[in-house]
Amino acid sequence: MSSSRLETEHLYKVFGRRPGDAVTRLEQGADRDELRDDGSTAAVIDASFTVAPGEIFVVMGLSGSGKSTLLRMLNGLLEPTAGHVRFDGDDLTALGDRELRALRAHRISMVFQHFALFPHRSVRENAAYGLSVQGVPRAERERRADEALALCGLAGWENAWPDELSGGMRQRVGLARALATDADLLLMDESFSALDPLIRRDMQDQLLELQKTLKKTIVFITHDLNEAMRLGDRIAVMRDGRIVQTGTAEDILVRPADDYVASFTQDVDRSRVLTAAAVMDPETHGDEADCDCPTATPDTPFTELCALSARLSHPVAVLTEDGELAGVVRRQRLVGLLGDRQGAAEPCDSPRVPDRAALTGGKLTARA
């Protein structure tokens, strides 16, 4: 596992009395509500995942799902009740307080939901905070802080105070503070949730832009699936302390692990996420690509597929770069994905001639 930057293995966190016993019971299959009756709260249950270097790993879940607790075990702010966190070969659970602090000062940094800027320090002093903990001399840490601020688009604001900045700018300071220490691992706890939608989009774009050059390993917590889809190379969905599914945005959308995940994906704007490769049917009959109709490639976005499909009377053929047929996309499937549920077509108990139905004035539309 030396290739992975960050790895967790059967991680548990239980608050309350006798947490050790609670873990044993959870391992034997007890559920969260049984434990709650005994006065302990299982915040994270059996979480295992691996985050590759340079990857943005998003943990998504509603409030109370345990995602913030999980994040705080990744940098040792909370001690796991059971299980291991390994980062670059170090087992965090085996480290002492002092070593953990050194790790947090140098290699892991964090961005907070409500920015957590120190109101009694200027923007520059805030950005340089991690460096001052490391004991970097003043001149150097100010230079590096200014660089990080410039990277986040805050050049010229070094001498301002946090209370003079807007929400988005404050979070840029928070981001600059986390970047200034040159940590490899960035933990972001609902970092954009407190911002209004437009600014949030800006910040997401900026994070993706920065990530292209910085290639940090990022664990990003959010309750917003759209944000998870935009940012995440891979996404873990949490529910009641457990990770119910880990996968790419497409996996989550197209192959939800259970109804819970599926219900989550209802409101997602699929057209932004899905591509031909995700929706095509790879079982082909060999006769689809023999016409001159327009075709798609595996990377063709969902919206373009819809446009193509509307113009064609048969399924859209998906060709690879070499011109090989990779699969076909059926209109039925496209329409199903726009709705909230897939599955086999249900037979109709009183089939009608489509033309007549259209003539009788919108009855079909009403039934659909």
Partner 1 sequence: MPRIRLGDRVDDGVNWLVGHMSWFFDAVRTVVEGLYDGIYAVLTAPEPLLLAGVLAVAAWWLRGLVAGVLAFAGFALVDSMALWDKAVSTLALVLVATLVALVVSVPLGIWAARSKAVSAVVRPVLDLLQTMPSTVLLIPAILFFGMGVPAGVVATLIFALAPGVRMTELGIRQVDAELVEAAEAFGTPPRDTLLRVQLPLALPTIMAGVNQVIMLGLSMVVIAGMVGTGGLGGAVNEAIGQLDIGLGFEAGLGIVVLAVYLDRMTGALGAQISPLGRRAAAKARTAGTAKLRNHRPSPAVALAGVVVLALLAGGLGVFGPSAQTGRATGTDVGRGKKITIGHIPWDEGIATTFLWKELLEERGFDVTTTQYAAGPLYTGLATGQIDFQTDSWLPVTHAEYWKKYGGQLDDLGKWYGPTSLELAVPSYVKGVDSLADLKGRSPEFKGRIVGIEPSAGMMGLLKDKVLKEYGLGGGYEVVDGSTPAMLAELERAYAKKEPIVVTLWSTHWAYSDYDLTKLKDPKGAWGKGDGVHTLARKGFAGDNPEVGAWLKDFSMTEKQLTGLEAGIQRAGKGGEQDAVRAWLRANPGLAGKWAPVAPVTGSGGKSGANGVSNN
Nearer to partner 1, 40 or 113 (CB): 113
DSSP state at residue 327: E
Residue selected from 33, 163, 292, 324 as contacting partner 1 according to rule CB under 8 A: 163
Q: Which is nearer to partner 1, 120 or 367 (CB)?
A: 120
The per-residue DSSP string of 24-59 comes to HHHHTT--HHHHHHTTEEEEEEEEEEEE-TT-EEEE
Give the one residue of 81, 181, 204, 295 binding partner 1; rule: CB under 8 A. Answer: 181
Closest alpha carbon to 228 in 220, 239, 217, 238: 220
Stretch that binds partner 1, among 52-60, 103-111, 165-173, 279-287 (CB under 8 A): 103-111
Angle between helices 167-180 and 138-151 (to 10 degrees): 130
DSSP secondary structure, 204-230, as one string? HHHHHHHHHHH--EEEEEES-HHHHHH
Nearer to partner 1, 188 or 243 (CB): 188
With 0-12 CB in 10 A as exposed, 13-18 as middle and 19+ as buried, what is 14? buried
Q: Could you say which of 1, 33, 37, 120 contacts partner 1 (CB under 8 A)? A: 120
289: number of CA atoms within 13 Å, CB side?
A: 17
Among candidate residues 329, 232, 229, the one with its CA nearest the CA of residue 279: 329
* Binding region for partner 1 (CB under 8 A) out of 39-47, 114-122, 143-151, 354-362: 114-122
Q: Which of 103, 229, 231, 308 touches partner 1 (CB under 8 A)?
A: 103
Q: Which is nearer to partner 1, 201 or 223 (CB)?
A: 223
Among 110, 148, 225, 268, binds partner 1 (CB under 8 A): 110
Residue 101 binding partner 1, by CB under 8 A: yes
Asked whether the beta carbons of 65 and 241 are under 8 A apart, the reply is: yes
Stretch that binds partner 1, among 17-25, 117-125, 149-157, 311-319 (CB under 8 A): 117-125
The angle subtended at Cα 307 by Cα 304 and Cα 310, nearest 5°, is: 150
Question: At closest approach, how far in Å is the CB of 116 from partner 1?
Answer: 4
Q: Are 318 and 295 in contact (CB under 8 A)?
A: yes
Burial annotation 278-310 (CB, 10 A radius, 16+ → b, else e): bbbeeebeeebbeeeeebbeeebebebbbebbe
The reply to whether 215 sits near partner 1 by the rule CB under 8 A is: no
In the range 253-272, which residues lie near partner 1 by CB under 8 A?
Answer: none
Write each residue from 64 to 93 as x if it is in contact with partner 1 (CB under 8 A), else as -, in one continuous string.
-----------x-x----------------
Task: State which amino acid sits at residue 177.
Answer: R
- The maximal CA–CA distance of the chain, rounded, in angstroms, is 83
Member of 116, 155, 291, 307 binding partner 1 (CB under 8 A): 116
Look-up: residue for tokens 């909230």?
A: 340
Of 106 and 330, nearer to partner 1 (C-beta) is 106
> Which residue's CB is nearer to partner 1, number 113 or number 246?
113
* Cβ at position 71, least distance to partner 1 in Å: 10
Size, binding site for partner 1 by CB under 8 A: 28
Binding track over 132-151 against partner 1, x by CB under 8 A: -xx-----------------
Give the alpha-carbon dihedral of 227, 232, 234, 240, to 10 degrees.
Answer: -30
Residue 26 or 188 with smaller CB distance to partner 1? 188
Q: Which residues bind partner 1 (CB under 8 A)?
A: 75, 77, 100-106, 109-110, 112-114, 116, 118-121, 129-130, 133-134, 161, 163, 177, 181, 187
